[in-house]
């Protein structure tokens, strides 16, 4: 028996289900474009084996350990390292058992679907993971991981990945991408320019980061024009390693379009560490507009990921550091916040700005109306908590009627869990086909159009939006 239902996520009504299946089968084998995510390029550079099942599925996946923690597991029990260097569980099998003991917690979540898909399609398992068979499953995966066909590059090829973008900070030397390029391997693993650390005056070590930016580029990064030129240089360096896009994770969608003299003055304050919170926010906002202007120069797509309250739990931040699953969405305003950027460059037809949100109330009220009007805007796919069947359904239902399909940008998996990539793209393809079948079945789309749109959503729109 299969771990996953071959008709999963299709509408239950038989006529629609048949159409959804036909649509899905027409796109199921298309190559995967993964234009935004957080895989480690070192995997593909070194092509070493993945260490063990716990480090593949539990320790790095904040979806997984967060849920376990919410029901009483502790981060150290799950092998998550401590800021004070204190002891944490070191036995991967013990971590795996703790995970299996909480497997019921994932019922009804996308994690359950991704895990089952990976277990079945990557590792050939046929029984659901339970507390009782935890060791058997562990051994099976461990056996696989030891084999060459489970090395990163082999999986990359087996997954049918046409292009995979990783995300690196502006100061990264991109050594792994260089190593991949020099290795002769043909897998397309590209980088993305993520300059938060040199754009956000509140980032740890901002002034030092700017100093390093200057050293790296040979620009006088302590002057406003030199600083901008240093960005231009780094963008060119990233493009030389395949980058076609930049990415910006700001607390809000605030943008500014200040006079250059005012921007320069703000930059000076940022360098001296004397920005107020409001000034820091304004500077970040100014830099989005500057980045958009550079995108007009060099053709890179600009992604904005706003609205996450990072590291919400002080307790967890102090004990374990950043990015421990306690990032919580906040209400986000786009209409007022994006106006300065849009007044500057929103009508540019050569520019592509992709907007993401963690606040679904903005889909119908703000994002679809904006993307359905400004030529420069595209809507990114459902992000993070909303990368799921219901999330995708709401996204399509709330945006399509206002901005159509062609102002959206295809799918992103945005993952650091490598094995979940095919699973996530499969969920997206199924969910989109379910939506399209419903449109056809209710007379809102012609059947032939649905097949064309299915192909566009799966492949063409991402290729175009990210210029891949």
Binders of a second copy among residues 7 to 36 (CB under 8 A) are 7-13, 15-16
Q: Is 69 in the site for a second copy (CB under 8 A)?
A: yes
Q: Figure out which of the listed residues 202, 203, 372, 464 binds a second copy, where binding follows CB under 8 A.
A: 372
The distance of closest approach from Cβ of residue 183 to a second copy in the complex, given in angstroms and rounded to an integer, is: 39
Q: Is 365 exposed, middle or buried (0-12, 13-18, 19+ CB in 10 A)?
A: middle
What's the chain's Rg over C-alpha atoms?
23
The distance of closest approach from Cβ of residue 429 to a second copy in the complex, given in angstroms and rounded to an integer, is: 14
Q: How many CB atoms lie within 10 A of CB 442?
A: 9
Size of the site for a second copy (CB under 8 A): 91
Alpha carbons within 13 angstroms on the beta-carbon side of residue 236 total 9
Q: Is 119 in the site for a second copy (CB under 8 A)?
A: no
The residue (of 23 and 371) whose beta carbon lies closer to a second copy is 371
DSSP secondary-structure letter at 103? G
Binding to a second copy (CB under 8 A) within 319-338 occurs at 325-326, 328-331, 333, 335-336
In b/e form, how buried is each residue of 12-45, taking b as 16+ CB within 10 angstroms?
Answer: eeeebbebbbebbebbeebebbbbbbbbebbbbb
Binding to a second copy (CB under 8 A) within 339-368 occurs at 339, 342-343, 346-347, 349, 358-361, 364-366, 368
The distance of closest approach from Cβ of residue 305 to a second copy in the complex, given in angstroms and rounded to an integer, is: 15
The residue (of 149 and 448) whose beta carbon lies closer to a second copy is 448
Q: CA-to-CA distance for 39 and 274, rounded, in angstroms?
A: 36
Is 5 strand, coil or helix?
Answer: coil
Q: CA-to-CA distance for 313 and 140, rounded, in angstroms?
A: 36
DSSP secondary-structure letter at 366? I
Q: Is 126 in the site for a second copy (CB under 8 A)?
A: no
Name the maximum alpha-carbon separation found in the chain: 68
Q: Is 281 in the site for a second copy (CB under 8 A)?
A: no
Q: Figure out which of the listed residues 369, 455, 460, 463 binds a second copy, where binding follows CB under 8 A.
A: 369
Is 245 strand, coil or helix?
Answer: strand
Binding to a second copy (CB under 8 A) within 394-433 occurs at 397-398, 400-407
Stretch that binds a second copy, among 63-71, 76-84, 216-224, 265-273 (CB under 8 A): 63-71
The distance of closest approach from Cβ of residue 147 to a second copy in the complex, given in angstroms and rounded to an integer, is: 29
Q: Is 467 in the site for a second copy (CB under 8 A)?
A: no
């Amino acid at each position: 028996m299969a771990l996953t239902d071959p008709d999963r996520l299709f509408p239950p009504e038989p006529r629609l289900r048949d159409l959804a299946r036909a649509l899905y089968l027409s796109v199921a084998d298309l190559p995967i474009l993964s234009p935004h995510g957080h895989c480690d390029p070192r995997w593909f550079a070194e092509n070493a084996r993945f260490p063990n099942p716990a480090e593949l599925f539990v320790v790095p996946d904040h979806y997984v350990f967060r849920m376990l923690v919410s029901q009483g597991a502790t981060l150290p029990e799950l092998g998550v390292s401590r800021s004070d260097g204190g002891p944490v569980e070191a036995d991967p099998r013990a971590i795996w058992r703790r995970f299996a003991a909480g497997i019921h917690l994932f019922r009804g979540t996308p994690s359950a679907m991704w895990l089952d898909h990976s277990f079945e399609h990557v590792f050939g398992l046929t029984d659901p993971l339970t507390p009782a068979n935890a060791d058997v499953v562990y051994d099976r995966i461990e056996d696989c991981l030891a084999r060459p066909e489970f090395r990163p590059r082999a999986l990359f090829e087996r997954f049918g990945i046409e292009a995979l973008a990783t995300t690196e900070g502006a100061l990264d030397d991109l050594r792994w991408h260089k190593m991949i390029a020099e290795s002769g391997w043909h897998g397309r693993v590209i980088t993305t320019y993520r300059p938060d650390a040199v754009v956000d005056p509140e980032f740890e070590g901002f002034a030092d980061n700017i100093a390093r930016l200057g050293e790296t580029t040979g620009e006088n990064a302590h002057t406003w024009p030199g600083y901008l030129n240093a960005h231009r240089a780094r963008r060119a360096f990233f493009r030389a390693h395949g980058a076609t896009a930049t990415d910006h994770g700001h607390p809000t969608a605030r943008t500014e379009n200040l006079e250059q003299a005012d921007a320069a003055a703000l930059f000076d304050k940022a360098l001296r560490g004397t920005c107020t919170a409001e000034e820091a926010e304004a500077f970040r906002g100014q830099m989005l507009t500057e980045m958009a202007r550079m995108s007009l120069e060099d053709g890179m797509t600009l992604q904005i990921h706003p609205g996450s309250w990072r590291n919400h739990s002080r307790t967890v931040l102090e004990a374990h550091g950043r990015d421990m699953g306690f990032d919580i969405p906040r209400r986000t305003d786009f209409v007022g916040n994006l106006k300065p950027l849009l007044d500057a460059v929103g009508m540019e037809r050569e520019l592509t700005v992709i907007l993401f949100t963690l606040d679904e109330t903005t889909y119908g009220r703000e994002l679809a109306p904006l993307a359905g009007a400004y030529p420069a805007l595209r809507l990114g796919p459902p992000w993070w908590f909303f990368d799921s069947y219901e999330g995708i359904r709401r996204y399509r239902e709330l945006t399509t009627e206002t901005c159509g399909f062609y102002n959206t940008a295809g799918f992103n998996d945005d993952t650091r869990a490598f094995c979940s990539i095919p699973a996530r793209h499969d969920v997206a393809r199924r969910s989109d086909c379910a939506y399209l079948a419903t449109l056809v079945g209710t007379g809102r789309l012609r059947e032939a159009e649905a097949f064309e749109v299915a192909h566009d959503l799966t492949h063409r729109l991402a290729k175009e939006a990210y210029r891949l």
